[in-house]
């Protein structure tokens, strides 16, 4: 999309907490390092871009946020503003080969290159801003290298670190940054946005909203035909463990995807849908309880939930996806019912 037509999307449903950060950003008084944390698809990237625009936007229309429509805001939306720098993992083969990125981690070389850029004076903005997507995937060496910038950022220099699992960041990094949590959206907001953006998928809205737990990004994915198929597979797994075929089920979850990173993403998607359905059932048990909550009622689901989290960690260790899903399903098969 050309920079002239790119539009920033304001974050939804973040309330007074985000407004406080935006006001300080407009005055260039925001803390120099902020960890933007929250679940998958929850809107962390949207919040980071909006904060970056608040730091850079030259308009005086709004003292509490960026205008969202000026040339600066449009260039930030398009990823073409000279003083907003992004460090991320590879999204495709071009990223991996041309820019020498990894699908798995953010390397120390990427961090060092970004630090060199931050040493220069701003080219066209009011500040120098570094966005690190998936900051919790930084190698330890990369995090240690970042400490120098966190300790001595320089004038009008700001770092925004996106993290789904901030506990994976080194304690030395966490202690030098403040934290902004992106909260889930209300179900009504998620529903309205799906219908606005994907009116042709209204039939899948109820299922998507129930699974997403306030994540618009995951809800939008959950309306796709592939997600509906995988969810049906998950429901089959949860309906009974008797006769469960872990290998066959794992292969069905990974069907029609290329080997390598695409297979990993498909496995992550299966685990997310399984975990979402488990959470939904646990919540339903809690709501239906007439008296004090009885943990034993939810024990099978919580056991399975732990298995899915362990499986996701195994994927991060680059264990083959079919092996990971099979092992997870075997544990589910023997879990108490």
**pLDDT confidence of residue 61:** 85
Q: Is the pLDDT of residue 59 over 60?
A: yes
* Lowest-confidence segment of 36-40, 94-98, 163-167, 271-275 by average pLDDT: 94-98
**pLDDT confidence of residue 250:** 95
pLDDT above 90: percentage of residues in the chain: 76
- 3-state class (DSSP) for residue 253: helix
**pLDDT confidence of residue 55:** 97
Q: What is the mean pLDDT of residues 312-333?
A: 91
Q: Is the pLDDT of residue 14 over 90?
A: yes
Please state which CATH number belongs to domain 15-181: 3.40.50.300
pTM, whole model, 2 decimals? 0.90
Q: With bands split at pLDDT 50, 70 and 90, how would you rate the model's confidence at 298? A: low
Q: Where are the domains of the chain?
A: 15-181, 224-334
Q: What is the DSSP string of 51-103?
A: HHHHHH----S-TTS--SSSHHHHHHHTT--TTEEEE----SHHHHHHS---S
Q: pLDDT tens-digit profile of 247-267?
A: 999 999 999 898 889 999 999
**pLDDT confidence of residue 137:** 96
Q: Is the pLDDT of residue 4 over 50?
A: no
Residues whose CB is less than 8 angstroms from the CB of residue 311 and which lie 6 or more positions away in sequence, other chains included: 267, 271, 324, 325, 327, 328
Q: pLDDT tens-digit profile of 178-217?
A: 999 999 999 999 999 999 999 988 889 999 999 999 999 9
Q: What is the mean pLDDT of residues 286-309?
A: 73
Instruction: Count Cβ atoms within 10 A of the Cβ of residue 139 and give its class: 0-12 exposed, 13-18 middle, 19 or more buried.
Output: middle
């Amino acid at each position: 999309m050309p920079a002239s037509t790119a539009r920033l999307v304001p974050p939804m449903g973040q309330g007074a907490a985000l407004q406080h950060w935006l006001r300080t950003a407009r005055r260039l008084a925001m803390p120099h390092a902020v960890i933007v944390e929250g679940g998958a698809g929850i809107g962390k990237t949207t919040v980071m871009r909006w904060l970056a625009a608040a730091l850079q936007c030259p308009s005086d229309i709004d003292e509490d946020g960026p205008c969202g429509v000026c040339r600066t805001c449009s260039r930030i939306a398009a990823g073409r503003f000279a003083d907003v720098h992004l460090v991320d993992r590879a999204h495709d083969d071009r990223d991996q080969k041309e820019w020498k990125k990894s699908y798995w981690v953010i390397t120390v070389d990427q961090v060092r290159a970004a630090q060199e850029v931050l040493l220069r004076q701003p080219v066209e903005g009011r500040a120098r801003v570094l966005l690190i997507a998936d900051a919790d995937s930084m190698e330890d060496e990369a995090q240690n290298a970042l400490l120098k910038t966190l300790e001595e950022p320089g004038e009008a220099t700001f770092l925004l670190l996106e993290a789904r699992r901030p506990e994976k960041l080194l304690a030395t990094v966490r202690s030098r940054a403040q934290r902004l949590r992106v909260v889930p959206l209300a179900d009504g907001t998620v529903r309205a946005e799906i219908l606005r953006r994907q009116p042709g998928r209204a039939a899948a809205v109820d299922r998507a909203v129930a699974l997403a737990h306030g994540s618009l990004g995951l809800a939008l994915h959950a309306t796709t035909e592939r997600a509906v198929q995988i969810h049906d597979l998950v429901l089959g797994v949860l309906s009974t463990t008797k006769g469960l075929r872990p290998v066959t089920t794992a292969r069905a979850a990974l069907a029609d995807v290329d080997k390598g990173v695409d297979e990993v993403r498909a496995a992550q998607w299966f685990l997310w849908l399984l975990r979402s359905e488990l959470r939904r059932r646990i919540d339903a048990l809690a709501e239906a309880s007439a008296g004090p909550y009885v943990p034993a009622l939810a024990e099978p689901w919580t056991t399975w939930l732990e298995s899915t989290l362990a499986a996701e960690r195994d994927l991060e260790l680059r264990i083959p996806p079919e092996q990971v899903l099979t092992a997870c399903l075997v544990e589910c098969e023997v879990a108490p019912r």
